[in-house]
Every structure is written in structure tokens, then in C-alpha cells.
Structure 1
Amino acid sequence: MPSPPPRSGRGDELAAARLRRVLGPAAVVRETALSGGLYNSARLLELSDGRRLVLKTAPAASTPALTHERGLLGTEALFHRLAATTGVRVPTVLHHEPAGPCAPAEWLLLSYVDGTTWHAGRDRIAPADRAALRRRLGACLARIAAVTGPAYGYPQPAAGLSAPDWPAAFTAMLHAVLADAHRFDVALPAPTGFLAGLPVRFGHRIAEVRRAALVHFDAWEGNVVLARDGEGPWRLSGLIDGERAFFGDPLAELVGVDPLGAAEDDTDLLAGYRSVAPALTLDTGARVRLALYRVYLALVMRVESVPRAYGGEFAAWLDTWSADRVMEQLAVLDALEA
């Protein structure tokens, strides 16, 4: 997969003032833009008292965005607070503030997780370390999924994408991204009406989900932080960037953890997951839902490319990949329900 284009570098000129207001006498002695984010900006702040924090700032409220992206930093704050209760290492939430008179854009202040992302360090990870890390990651995701939400879907009220049951919530989520495609004039690989009808066609499978589990939905290697002492074995240092999180089917985590592949084929990941949640099954209903969630994620990635103004090689790759992925998963659905 080609790398996405670099961020335009929206500096956060209010960082020092915000820190003074939230943290008192601590001063910023160094500020560094962090790469990897495709929606919110993130800056590493090194403070006079020795701490290192991350300041994340959302685009201005007037910036074009997908429906589910309203209040994303509030979702991230909620995810990290809930995940922390399970013992999984995540950033500590120090302050969250929605956009308002004192903040032209939503912002979030977090502790910094030391280490390197799995994606950045993958060429230095030995096969034995990789297997152990995948098992550890699977166990962490299972612990997170043990958290039950008050409703299904995206938690931020501004998005309007939550419901008392999973079929209604997933239908709203899928219909929202299809409406976003229309709003941003994004061509779809299959007719809108056909895609919109998938939750009805497979409603009996979606209805098999009876608990609103917490799902990160973006736990790919770029959001998993690793660390090690010297040349010792790698360890899982933390899971970051919980902004895409929702409450729903815990199986959806397998889609986000490997958006280009099929994490259910990762024996180490599943072994780790089942060490915490042995009831995980991959029957026909589960595989139908996995295909539906892959259609959904591919559509999100396809549509978001327009308001985020992707360009160049990455945009061309994403256009081709997302269309192929949707059609591939529609064929999977046909085969499973034949």
C-alpha cells in the first residue's frame, strides 16, 4: 500500500495557552509534529517538568467531513478511558474539550506512549517476536471487547449513529457513508440501493449480535506501539488512536486490525484472543458479518479521500483497492448465502 500524502502541517498556535490553562506552570520547551494521522493533527509536546504529551486537534467544525467523524476526539477520549479499565495500555486522557468559544476546534491532550509503531519497526521484528506480539495483541483486543456500551454504534450524539440494537446501528452507519458518498460526489463500485439493502438482506446475521462491545476498529500496525530494552524482545507498549471506535460486534475488530487482509486467518492473533474470550466462533454468520464490515470499511476509506483531498499515488491506489475490496466482499457474501 502506498503511503498517504503528508499532512499540510496545521500548526496548533494555541498549544502553549491551552497547556497553561490546563496544566498550570508547565511550559512547552519543544514541539514536534507527529505524522501518520489523516484527519486530526497531532503534536508531541515536551514540557519543562520532563513530561511528554500529545496534543491532538480536530479540523475546524466547518471543514468537510464524513458524518461519523463529528466529535472524533470525544470518541477517542472515551475509548482510552474505557480501555484503560481493562488493563490494556493506552494513552492517559489528561483533558478533552469540544469546539466552543474558548476552542475554535475540538482538542484532546494525552500522555505520550513511548516506543515505535509496529508499522515503523516491522522490518526489525523477528518471527518469534511477531508471533508473541500477535498473541498479546489478540488478548488485548479481547479484553477491550469485554467493555459493554450503553447503546450500539458511534457514541457521539452529534453523529446521530447510535441505536438500541446492532442491526439498526449498523444500518445507520452504512447508510451514512452512502449518503456521504452522494454528498461528496464519490462514485461507488456497486449501486447505492444495492449496498443500502445489505443490512436487510443479511439482517438475520447482524441480529446475532446481542451485546454492544467496545471496538477500536483501527488497531492496525500503525496504531500499535512497541518497545524493547536494548536488543531484547519486543513488547506491546500501547494501543493508540481510538477515534474510530464504536460499540457493536466484537468481530469487527478483526476487520480493523488488518484492513487489507483477513485477520481471522492469523492463528497467533486468534490464539491470543481466545485465551481471554474462548467463545469466539467463526461460523457462517460470523463470516457474513466480517464481509459486511469489510464492505463498510472500504466504503469509508473510499469516501473520506474526497473531503481529505488525497492525491497522487495514494489516491489512485485507494480508488482501485476500495472498489476491488467491495466487489470481492460482495462475492464472498453471495457464496456464503448461496
Structure 2
Amino acid sequence: MSSLTRSPTQQQLGADDVTALVGHALGETPVAATQLTGGERFGYTGDRPHASTWREAVVAAVEALLHDGAAWGVGDDLLPSARVRAALDRHGQVLDDVDRPVLVHVDLWDGNVLALPDADGTWRRSGLATGRPVVLDAAARTRLALYRVWVDVVMAAELPSRGKTGPADADFRALLTRHLAGELDILAV
């Protein structure tokens, strides 16, 4: 996906145009069919974190994010690494219930619909960013809480790379901090 241009922002297109583009893209794309697409391993493709078990893939992906967050200077107040690791250590066995790698998209929003202008300047879908390779099991509250921790770790670790470190973003950072702490509290770590 790195060769594709990110979705146009609402500054480049009007909000109605973005909504129409996203709706059209999702209507054309058999998103539900991705769950039928299996693989030989869990996790990401290429050199990104992956493993032969779901637990190992999740731990590797979260560890990579914790490393990135530390490298970006994301503090323990936003990214409590010890608590995140404790949650994975304490509850990681529930991830072993996931025994079939499939693609599930859990991050569909306008920023993950990739678009390019065609010859007449009309924006057209050029792809979908696949988000995080998460397999949801609605019956497993613990697994769901671990997935939410993972997404919160992604958001916290990526704050600097998305320019979300200034005073104007303090409310968002506080919300993210509360959400991550709440999920970790659910996991009793």
C-alpha cells in the first residue's frame, strides 16, 4: 500500500464528497469476503510482526509498537508498557483459541480508503488500507479487551508521527489515556 496515495482529507474534498467516496468504495469492495481469505500465518505481511500462532503475532505486534512509542518519546503516562505487557502475560492464553488466520478489517474510515484522481480529476478508490490484522471473537470479553488494548497502544505509539503532541491535542490524549487505563483495569493489571 505504500505506493498508493492516502485518502483525500476533508480539506481537499468536501465532507459530502468524502462520505460518498467512502460509501462507494465500501459498496464495491466485498469487505465481508475478506473473512473468508485465509493465510498461512498470523499477523502482518512482509517484514512486519507475524508468527505461527495468534498469541505470538499479537505479542510481537504490540512489542513493536511499544518499541516505536519509546523511540518516539511517548511517556509511560500515555503508553504504560509494563501494564500492557502484564495484560498480555496474564491473559495471552485466550489468544490461543484463535487457530485460523483470516483477514478481518476493523478500521474502516475515510483515512483508510485509498484514493487517486483519474484523468478528469474525479477521485476514485484505489485500494483499502487493511488496518490491523485482528480476529474478533465477540463471546470472549478478555480477548476483546486485549484487542482494544492493542488498538489503544497503536494510537498512543503513533501520536508523534501523526503530529498529535501539541496543546491542541491534550483532550484527545487524555481520552486515550483514560480508555487504555480502563481496558487495562478490566484485565486487572
Give the TM-score taking structure 2 as reference length.
0.71
In structure 2, the CA distance between the partners of 1:301 and 1:145, relative to structure 1 (3 Å rule), is: same
| Structure 1: runs of 5+ lacking an equivalent | 1-72, 74-105, 113-118, 126-132, 226-236, 252-280
Q: Which has the larger radius of gyration?
A: 1
Q: Distance in 1 between matches of 2:165 and 2:74?
A: 14
**Is 1:187 paired with 2:75?**
yes
Aligned to 1:244: 131
**Counterpart secondary structure, 1:193:** helix
Task: After superposition, give the CA deviation of every residue in 1:240-279 in whole Å (9 maximum; x if it has no partner).
Answer: 5315343x52x1xxxxxxxxxxxxxxxxxxxxxxxxxxxx
Task: Report sequence identity in percent.
Answer: 26
Q: Distance in 2 between matches of 1:214 and 1:165?
A: 14
**Counterpart secondary structure, 1:197:** helix
| Structure 2: runs of 5+ lacking an equivalent | 8-13, 115-123
Give the TM-score taking structure 1 as reference length.
0.42
Q: Distance in 2 between matches of 1:140 and 1:313?
A: 40
In structure 2, the CA distance between the partners of 1:109 and 1:318, relative to structure 1 (3 Å rule), is: closer
Structure 1 residue 282: deviation in Å? 2.6
Q: Distance in 2 between matches of 1:184 and 1:297?
A: 17
Q: Distance in 1 between matches of 2:94 and 2:184?
A: 15
Aligned length: 167
The structure carrying a bigger strand percent of its residues is: 1
**Is 1:303 paired with 2:157?**
yes
- Alignment of structure 1 residues 1-338 onto 2, 5 Å: 73=1, 107-108=3-4, 120-121=15-16, 140-157=30-47, 159=48, 161-189=49-77, 191-220=80-109, 223=112, 240-246=127-133, 248-249=134-135, 251=136, 282-283=138-139, 285=140, 287-312=141-166, 315-334=169-188
- Do 2:72 and 2:160's aligned partners in 1 also have CA atoms closer than 8 Å? yes
Q: Distance in 2 between matches of 1:326 and 1:183?
A: 20
Structure 1 residue 307: deviation in Å? 2.9
Structure 1 residue 221: deviation in Å? 5.6
Structure 1 residue 223: deviation in Å? 4.4
In structure 2, the CA distance between the partners of 1:166 and 1:330, relative to structure 1 (3 Å rule), is: same
Q: Distance in 1 between matches of 2:166 and 2:155?
A: 16
- Do 1:186 and 1:303's aligned partners in 2 also have CA atoms closer than 8 Å? yes
Task: After superposition, give the CA deviation of every residue in 1:83-140 in whole Å (9 maximum; x if it has no partner).
Answer: xxxxxxxxxxxxxxxxxxxxxxx52379x9xxxxxx9349x99xxxxxxx8xx98x95
